[in-house]
Amino acid sequence: MRLVILPNSDDVAEFACDLFAQQLTNKPKSVLGLATGSSPTTLYQKMISRQKAGDLSFSQATSFNLDEYVGLSGDHPQSYRHFMNEQLFNHVDIDLARTFVPNGVADNPNDECKRYEELIALAGGIDLQLLGIGINGHIGFNEPLSSLSSRTRVKTLTKSTIEANSRFFGDDERQPTDSMTMGIGTILDARQVVLLATGAHKAQAIKGCVEGPVSASCPASALQLHEHAIVVVDEAAAAELT
Ligand code: F6R
């Protein structure tokens, strides 16, 4: 695992954007693993600007998102499909038919998870996987105590994650309690992984990820096992590192 500490969140996004640009230049048909949440939003804005400037193209790329809420269809404003369309896909030259997000309203969520794993394999595996980190150390929706060899499956969210994400849901909106998420094993299969974290509220989780024992108590610590994992943080998120 490589750790990169940068002065601020904009530098973190710029660094990640360079990585994706390099990946797409070296291999235009790259398979990208993408994430939602606040961590990648500046990165997505930078990707859009670079694509519009002609410095980056997604035209031959394929993408797989980490996760989706069970029970939300792609047109629900809080679904991760909707987030991705709004934050990135609708503004770049990617072929929407080659962007994959688990179907939150599939008849059988377990079958949908199996199908998702098969689609990733069929695409040749993920070249570069983007991650954020939860304050409890989760990656994707792999909450603490998830198996380090887990594959895409249905996971019940912890109270802490539901609380952290409640800011996105209105008072009268029912917030999902289950998700479909790539497993930790699925994430570790990616050829390269980049995890972004900014802000003091992520400092404890980053300490567990980078310096803690490799343990299911902190799912992100599994990245220590990956030869090509890069953890990119700002100074605030690095504050607890020794
Ligand atoms: C998002 C995801 C989550 C987030 C994590 C951090 O697709 O899988 O693991 O990356 O919860 O969220 P933010 O970036 O909002 O702090």
Residue 220 lies in a domain: no
* Catalytically active residues, by annotation: 67, 136, 138, 143
Q: If you measure from the C-alpha of residue 151 to the centroid of ligand 1, how many angstroms do you get, rounded to a whole number?
A: 18
Model's pTM, two decimal places?
0.97
In a domain, 231, yes or no: no
CATH number at residue 66: 3.40.50.1360
Per-residue pLDDT tens digits for 129-164: 999 999 999 999 999 999 999 999 999 998 988 998
The interface predicted TM-score (ipTM) is: 0.99
Determine whether the shortest distance from the Cβ of 137 to ligand 1 is under 6 A. no
Q: Which pairs with CB-CB distance under 8 Å and at least 24 residues apart come from 41-44?
A: 41/87, 42/9, 42/10, 42/12, 42/13, 43/13, 43/16, 43/17, 43/130, 43/196, 44/87, 44/88
The answer as to whether 123 is a domain residue is yes
135 in a structural domain: no
* Bridge partners, 54 (sequence order): none
Domain with 68, as residue range(s), is 2-129+148-189
Taking only the tens place, the pLDDT of each residue in 75-121 is 999 999 999 999 999 999 999 999 999 999 999 999 999 999 999 99
- Structural domain includes residue 227: no
Q: Is residue 77 part of a domain?
A: yes
Q: Name the domain count of the chain.
A: 1
Average pLDDT, the chain: 97
Q: Residue 52: inside a domain, yes or no?
A: yes
Q: Which of 131, 143, 187 to mutate to test the pocket of ligand 1 (most atoms within 8 A of CB)?
A: 131
Tell me how far CA of residue 115 lies from CA of 103, 120, 187, in angstroms: 10, 9, 16
* Residue whose CA is at the smallest distance from ligand 1 atom 8: 140
Classify residue 200: in a domain, yes or no. no
Q: What is the pLDDT of residue 173?
A: 86
Phi/psi at 7 (5° precision): -60, -40
Q: Which residue puts its alpha carbon closest to atom 10 of ligand 1?
A: 132
218 lines ligand 1 (CB under 6 A): no
